[in-house]
Amino acid sequence: MVPFFAYVTVFLLIPALVVVIGAFVSGGRPTLGNIRALGQPAVTSALWHSVVLSAVTAVVGAVLGAVLAYAVSTASPRGVLKRFLTSLCGVLAQFGGVTLAFAFLATFGATGFLTRALATVGVQSGGGLWLYEWDKGLMLVYLYFQVPLMLIVFLPAVEGLRPQWREATETLGGSTALYWRRVGGPILLPSFIGALLLLFTNAFSAYATAAALVSQGSPLLPLQIGGTFTSEVILGRENVGKAMALAMVVVVALVMTAYAVLDRRASRWLVR
Amino acid sequence: MAGPVSGQRAVMRRRQNAFRWAVVTVALLFFGAPLFGMLEFTTRDASGHRTAATWSQLADLGTISQRYPDLSAGLVASLWLAVLTVVMMLVLLVPTMTWVRLRLPGLSRTVEFLCLLPLTVPAIVLVVGLTPVYAWVTYLLNGSAVWLCFAYVVLVLPYAYRALDAGLRAIDVRTLSEAARSLGAGWGTVMARVILPNLRTAVLSAAFLTVALTLGEFTIANLFSRTNLQVAMYLLGKSDAQISVAVGLAALLFAIAILFAMSFVGGQRDTVSPLSRLRRHRQEPT
């Protein structure tokens, strides 16, 4: 008991306090200056980029992942296809950072195989520079871990759909479209939105992939925070980093709370 | 499924099969392209021909540690980190969670909250908060990369907690420990010889998650300027990209193979979301 609480205090609660208190302190005195510094254009645009990137990849990833999850759920439950896809996605969902950046550079970079393949059929993709832009390349790269994560999170919900419900619909004369609109859809909706929120926080908190891929500028909030470490620290600047960190925690905490509420609603149909 | 299938149902089944294969093929193309890109990149020589030089070099561990000392140092550091993180995670969590179950059920909410708290703290934020703590770690111990294990335990806390919680729920901790105690076992024996063996699967899956997360960690190590495997790959990627990409691809394929093999061992993994599991746990009559 004691080691656990001592450990959590030192390595989790103290860091949390450092961030929260540091956000309101500058040069040893309480101030709102760090919070006000969040209004700087560099920070607001980074926050905006982060939110847009996370939202777009969450929505697209959730839709694609849901379709994939449904397709997988129709396969035989102990079959090789399903085992393989869930293991593959289990790894890819956690597969961020350096390797992911390498993989996309080797595919879409200036000498990547797809870039060259496209060039031979006459499609020029601008030397692969688009890959480094947050609203083009990064979105595609983020989808590479968002779609697998959606499969992992959403598959149990899709598998919770009982065949009896579909048969009941058919017995009462309902079509496939009617089944999805009036039975399957409403049952899956809370799980879907919950998974979408999880994907949002996943993309929002990601640092490693963007750091390994983007070498110039800091278009995203995590990169801005990382920048306060690596750049020459101007006095008081590291506490602006804490204010940015606090802003991130606030966003993530809000989304996770919404997730917890939805998850409670969703699991009504999933008790097995 | 006995008996002849009606015509309408057969049409539906066929349509479902076609849909499944179409979706899975597209997905595999998307997932496979970057992996193929890595393979293609590492088997390319300066003049554009195929060569297996990078991979044969990778298989020869002796030369690797000579020619790329940073890479092997990073790999060694990451392996140590994995071991240390797993051990610390188990030492901290298993006795605490068992004890809470047996003696202090009132604390279970607090422990659960603390363990799930890192889910709302992105790694980059943890770095910000841990900076002063790590100044002390460097002062009291040293600046070696292996001490990152303190931060990694926090990172894996939610995942390990979920895995162990599922395992503990599946066994009757109270009866087992009372039986052992009445036969004269001390608490140490109860833990090591009764609780842990019964938690085998849960401990294994918690350990696997921990190892996977530790080997793939980049954010904290990079910002604290300590060289683990990922940081070494990142740095090497700037000078000798091929070997670096090959290491990344090998690690990835290894992880997929392990997970695929594990899906055949053990029972069906419970993939219900963490929060619904926890809630269901609370509804249990005690």
- The DSSP code sequence of A36-105 is HHTTSHHHHHHHHHHHHHHHHHHHHHHHHHHHHHHHHHTS-TTSHHHHHHHHHHHHHHT--HHHHHHHHH
Comparing A27-36, A225-234, A257-266, which segment has the lowest mean pLDDT?
A225-234
Q: Return the DSSP state at A129.
A: G
What token pair was written down for A39?
Answer: 């209004």
Give the C-alpha separation, B57 to B68, whole Å.
11
Domain ranges for chain A, please list them. 49-218+248-269
At residue A237 the predicted structure's pLDDT band, cuts being 50, 70 and 90, is low
Q: Cβ of A174 under 8 Å from any chain B Cβ?
A: no
Q: CA of B103: which chain A residue's CA is closest?
A: A1
Q: Cβ of A260 under 8 Å from any chain B Cβ?
A: yes
Q: Which residue has the tokens 């300027």?
A: B225
Radius of gyration over alpha carbons of chain B, in Å? Answer: 24
Q: Name which of A144, A249, A252 is nearest B34 (Cβ-Cβ).
A: A144
Q: Cβ of A160 under 8 Å from any chain B Cβ?
A: no
Closest C-alpha to B31, from A32, A88, A105: A88
pLDDT tens over chain B, length 286 residues: 444 556 777 887 888 888 888 988 999 998 888 888 888 888 887 777 777 777 777 777 777 777 888 888 888 898 899 999 999 999 899 888 888 888 888 888 888 888 888 888 888 888 888 888 888 888 888 878 888 888 999 988 988 898 888 888 888 888 888 899 899 888 888 888 888 888 888 888 888 888 888 888 888 888 888 888 888 888 888 888 888 888 888 888 888 888 888 777 654 444 444 444 444 444 444 3
pLDDT tens for each residue of B237-263: 888 888 888 888 888 888 888 888 877
Min CA distance, B198 vs chain A (Å)?
21
Q: Cβ of A86 under 8 Å from any chain B Cβ?
A: yes
Q: Cβ of A94 under 8 Å from any chain B Cβ?
A: yes
Q: Which amino acid does the sequence have at B258?
A: I
Q: Cβ of A118 under 8 Å from any chain B Cβ?
A: no
Q: Return the DSSP state at A230.
A: H
Give the CA angle between residues B233, B237, B241 to the nearest 5°.
120
CB contact under 8 A, B251 and A267: no
Domain covering A49-218+248-269 in this structure, CATH number: 1.10.3720.10
Residues ≥6 apart with Cβ < 8 Å to B232: B70, B71, B73, B74, B75
pLDDT tens for each residue of A32-42: 777 777 778 87
pLDDT at position A2: 82
Count CA atoms closer than 13 A to A17's CA, side-chain side: 9
The CATH number for B70-277, chosen from 1.10.1040.10, 3.30.1490.480, 1.10.3720.10, 1.10.150.20, is: 1.10.3720.10
Interface test with B, best of A88, A99, A150, A214 (most B CBs within 10 A): A99
CB contact under 8 A, A88 and B237: no
Give the C-alpha separation, A132 to A123, whole Å.
19
A25 — phi, psi (to 5°)? -125, 140
Residues of chain B found within 8 Å of residue A113, distances taken between Cβ atoms: 36-37, 40-41
Judged by CB atoms within 8 Å, which residues 23-62 of A form the interface with B? none
